Amino acid sequence: MVNFIQKDCYTISDLEEIVRLLRAPGGCPWDREQTHQSIRRNFIEEAYEVAEAIDEGHAGHLKEELGDVLLQVLFHTRIEEEAGVFSLNDVADTVSKKLIFRHPHVFGDVKAEGSDEVLANWEELKRQEKGQATHSDALNSVARSLPALWRAEKIQGKAKKAGFDWPSIDGAMDKLGEELGELQEAVLENSNTREELGDLLFAAVNVARFLSIDPEEALHQASEKFTQRFSKVEEAAAARGRAMEELSLPQLDELWDTVKAKDKQETSRDT
């Protein structure tokens, strides 16, 4: 057993010590074996669970999930501290300096009227900070580990700052139709289908950007809608005494259309 005094209430310093003990000799064998790469996915999953707690509007769940993300921060920091590279104070120092540098309207004498000007200043200061001399540098700086739809949206937003954008949604819609045609042609020829599908998705994100719609959230909602309707189709099939796989595709389509029509009636009634 490690030398640790249990308490009724713990602080961040206590959590930092717990992580140190878990990684230390005599601690947890699993925790000692972990590397940045081995727990990389854990960090991503915990961040998404925070997002889910935010969507739920449940403070208790949010507190728990934020704690899990904080644990990931401390764990990765501890790995570097053991290697003599940096500590938690170094992490705090880095982000503090970044915040001070990017908020000259708060910590300096720069004037900023409203959020739009603040964001414009933020982007320019970010480019200076990261040594981005060209617009291409800014595009290349978008993290490749982002969900693909979000990455596409950010890349398009940075391209817009260089003036490389449609003047209206009409151009984006035309491009979407053009990319759909190219995908259809690629499918017929059985050639370049992956590339053309990617182009179609990229064009769809452009349309979402013009409509100020989060493409990731839009696709999430579409997935939810499909899942709910699928469940209703399965229930309708069961009410006929049949499993879905026992029905033909036209029969399933009929049930789907019935469910879809009912959903639309309920939606119009609610609005």
Domain boundaries, the chain: 12-86, 228-270
- Quickly count helices (H) and strands (E) in the chain: 13, 0
Say whether pLDDT at 271 is over 70: no
Cβ(169)–Cβ(211) below 8 Å: yes
d(CA 205, CA 163): 18
d(CA 86, CA 77): 7
Which tokens go with 226? 């499909």
Between vectors from CA 169 to CA 168 and to CA 173, what angle results, nearest 5°?
135
Between the two ends of the chain, the Cα-to-Cα distance in Å is: 61
Predicted local confidence at residue 270, as pLDDT:
67
- In order of 144, 152, 188, the CA distances from 181 in angstroms are 28, 21, 11
Q: Which of 37, 27, 16 is nearest to 81 (CA)?
A: 16
DSSP state of 132: -
Predicted local confidence at residue 19, as pLDDT:
97
Q: What are phi and psi of 259, to 5 degrees?
A: -65, -45
Interval 56-115: pLDDT, tens? 999 999 999 999 999 999 999 999 999 999 999 999 999 999 999 999 999 999 998 899
Q: Which of 211, 185, 209, 207 is nearest to 197 (CA)?
A: 185
Cβ(76)–Cβ(43) below 8 Å: yes
SS (H, E, C) 250-265: HHHHHHHHHHHHHHHH
Predicted local confidence at residue 112, as pLDDT:
87
Interval 169-215: pLDDT, tens? 999 999 999 999 999 999 999 999 999 999 999 999 999 999 999 99
d(CA 80, CA 160): 38
Query: Looking at the domain that runs over 12-86, which CATH code has it been given?
Result: 1.10.287.1080
Provide the CA 176 distance to its chain's centre, in angstroms: 23
